[in-house]
Amino acid sequence: MRRLQVKSSAGEYQVIVGRGAWRALRQLKGYTSSFVLTEPGLWTKWGEKFSTDVGWKEVRPILIPSGESSKSLTMAGRVASELLDRGADRKSFLVALGGGVVGDLGGFVASTYMRGIDYAQAPTTVLAQVDSSIGGKTAVNIHAMKNLVGTFCAPHMVVSDADVLASLAPRAFQSGLYEAVKHSILSGPALFKWMEGNVVGLQASDTAVLEQLVARAAAVKVDVVTRDEREAALRRVLNLGHTYGHALEEATGYRRFLHGEAVAWGMLMVTRLAELAGVLDPAVGKRIVNLVRAVGPLPELRGIKEERVLGLLIRDKKAVGGKIHWVLPEAIGKVRVTPDVPEAIVTTAFREVQRGVWNG
Amino acid sequence: MRRLQVKSSAGEYQVIVGRGAWRALRQLKGYTSSFVLTEPGLWTKWGEKFSTDVGWKEVRPILIPSGESSKSLTMAGRVASELLDRGADRKSFLVALGGGVVGDLGGFVASTYMRGIDYAQAPTTVLAQVDSSIGGKTAVNIHAMKNLVGTFCAPHMVVSDADVLASLAPRAFQSGLYEAVKHSILSGPALFKWMEGNVVGLQASDTAVLEQLVARAAAVKVDVVTRDEREAALRRVLNLGHTYGHALEEATGYRRFLHGEAVAWGMLMVTRLAELAGVLDPAVGKRIVNLVRAVGPLPELRGIKEERVLGLLIRDKKAVGGKIHWVLPEAIGKVRVTPDVPEAIVTTAFREVQRGVWNG
């Protein structure tokens, strides 16, 4: 079991990674009642283990349909109503047991129910364990835009049980590994090398290796959000691969790519962009490409219109104050955040990766 | 113009009270764009003055229907969508121009749009100027309960223009005065005496007196929320009259009483309760009753079932962690917050006020 310490404006909290991490929820004291928010499929698989681990009596979960459409204000209102019906008060505790959707929605509900109750993240995917469960960003989607409405609200605790990853579908599993790759690029040679040595052929059932991977990749996120909780500047480095990635997801209606897959394509494109901008040695670019490719096959980019992607990049630009903050890799462990990238090479990088004419 | 300083966890902000207070919004610097949220009727009356005072070009407000039903998650989502459509980003600014509904909804949207943008409260009712605009509580209603979902999020500035009160309907005007009476009970002999000398016959058009009243009553709220932003304990004193008041509002489906009117009845009942509990001198109780009555006539209590009100008090109790925190006046300027009040006298106080057998 590894314990990472996160500092936030609301105080410190721990990210506990490893087999049996859920048992840390037994330490909770002073709450009038506790609730768990999750999805039906997850509860079927893991409800009994969860109940045993946390030691609560007769755990009756609050269930939401699986899938992104549950990340809505309507669903947040329904969960709040159910909490009220079941007697939750200001001193109640909520556990969000699931992937990014449950975590983002659960965090949003916890941060707004009676103006805020304490909550824990119990992430069940690689993506959520290494990334989205840490840092206190909560969100719901508004029809017009993903994550348009949300809060910064640190969890009381993050408990990442490695055993639960074994039941992930291969594609969901790999999607999460791409975010771990991203963290290794940000982190430096040690973690990057470790990833190069361990990612090839990695399976969801390789619990011991995954426990290490999650702990090491989560530590990168912990370090960044501790130094910049509110995304003033530093936290932007976490957007490596996400600028193109978000545009790819949106251009394909969020149907073709899992989030990590879009980020993987985005990392390839931004690696090429960094080379074209003259800030990245192609030999290092090649290593990044190889590590991304080593995770597994990616859905094709075929048919995605260049103009559409560029249009979405510009819309994203508006959303962040008039500038695209490109996160360009300069070396393993070093990125440059800059708005000054000529549009021509932004297009070229996209085009070369899409057409497969550049591959590191 | 009076300037009150509020300290909050997010930094300090000013409450600016007086004629021309909106002009303080001219000082805003460094925002990419500014928006105003308000109701159609208010904008018809005050839009031109607002635009002139703030000096923005072509102000096009975001309009929500007037009334409590706008305080919903659905409406919050619509306002967020409109902000996005109109190009609002993380560095945009929102002004909530209106009464409690606009203030609570506007604050909620501002605190969650892109995980939080800066906002100002520009309250247009006595109630909002002396109470709800100060302290950073934001909220929307869920079908099951008022203010069930919300945030603590301090505004950047509160600008309370006294001129705008002149157009209030008499009943809405008086409703706000009851909250000012409440603040004077909490504050002490000086403000209470001033209220006794100024409330009788006070009109919405008495701008000079109102400017003083708002500044003095708002100062009480400023003092309390500065010392207890998150309602740990001290802030509970502001609930004087609200325990019965909320139950009365709910028992009548929020149709019979304006909020301040229900609080006024609640203050009478809790004054009697304090006498019955033996903590309040009846001579002081009489002064409180006289001041409440001096504001004007109240809608009748006829037909409200005692059992219904008691049932709602118990539900409220669940919502605050298993105990009703009664706020009992002990003297002018002194209240006792206690859960230890026998149910029998809670019923008696309600009954005696309802039947008019006790009147101070």
Average pLDDT along chain B? 94
Residue A261 has a pLDDT of: 98
User: Is-contact A360 A285, C-beta < 8 A?
Assistant: yes
pLDDT surpasses 80 at A66: yes
User: What pLDDT, in 10s, does the model give residues A80-123?
Assistant: 999 999 999 999 999 999 999 999 999 999 999 999 999 999 99
For chain B (length 360 residues), average pLDDT per consecutive 10? 91 94 95 96 97 93 96 98 94 97 98 97 98 96 90 97 96 97 97 97 96 97 88 85 95 94 98 98 98 97 94 72 87 94 95 94
Q: For residues A288 and A271, what is the distance between their CA atoms, to the nearest angstrom?
A: 8
Minimum mean pLDDT range among A40-54, A317-331, B18-32, B113-127 = A317-331
- Kindly report the CA angle at A241 between A239 and A246, in degrees rounded to 5? 80
pTM beyond 0.90: the answer is yes
Determine which helix (DSSP H) or strand (DSSP E) holds B158, and give its type and residue range: strand B157-160
**Burial readout A22-36 (b: 16 or more C-beta within 10 A, e: otherwise):** bbbbeebeebeebbb
Q: Are β-strands B334-338 and B326-331 bridged in parallel, bridged antiparallel, or unpaired?
A: antiparallel
Phi, psi (deg, nearest 5) at residue A350: -60, -50
Is B322 close to A112, i.e. CB distance below 8 A? no
Give A-chain residues touching B111 at CB under 8 angstroms: 151
What is the rounded average pLDDT of the residues A226-236?
Answer: 81
Task: Write out A181-243 in H/E/C secondary structure.
Answer: HHHHHHHCHHHHHHHHHHCCCCCCCCHHHHHHHHHHHHHHHHHHHHHCCCCCCHHHHHHCCHH
User: What pLDDT, in 10s, does the model give residues B258-304?
Assistant: 999 999 999 999 999 999 999 999 999 999 999 999 999 999 999 99
pLDDT: is B143 or A136 the higher one? Answer: A136
Q: What does the CA dihedral A183, A187, A189, A190 come to, rounded to 10 degrees? A: -90
- Identify the burial level of B57 via C-beta atoms within 10 angstroms of its C-beta, where 0-12 means exposed, 13-18 middle and 19 or more buried: exposed
Return the closest-CA partner of residue B60 out of B35, B80, B89, B26: B35
Q: Which residues of B are known to be catalytic?
A: 115, 137, 179, 221, 231, 235, 239, 242, 246, 259
Q: For residues B82 and B237, what is the distance between their CA atoms, to the nearest angstrom?
A: 38
Active site residue A137: yes
Helix (H, G, I), strand (E, B) or coil at B76: helix
Instruction: Return the residue in A9, A31, A73 with the most chain B beta carbons within 10 A, the one to mutate for interface testing.
Output: A73
**Structure tokens of A23?**
């048992």
Is A91 close to B116, i.e. CB distance below 8 A? no
Residue B135 has a pLDDT of: 94
DSSP string of A242-275?
A: HHHHHHHHHHTTTTS--HHHHHHHHHHHHHHHHH
Q: Which of A179, A211, A261, A352 is catalytic?
A: A179
Give B-chain residues touching A143 at CB under 8 angstroms: 77, 81
Q: For residues A338 and A327, what is the distance between their CA atoms, to the nearest angstrom?
A: 7
User: Is-contact B4 B218, C-beta < 8 A?
Assistant: yes
Instruction: Return the residue in B115, B143, B153, B236 with the most chain A beta carbons within 10 A, the one to mutate for interface testing.
Output: B115
**Domains of chain B, each with CATH number or no CATH:** 2-167 (3.40.50.1970), 182-203+240-355 (1.20.1090.10)
Return the closest-CA partner of residue B75 out of B32, B115, B34, B112: B112
Residue B318 has a pLDDT of: 55
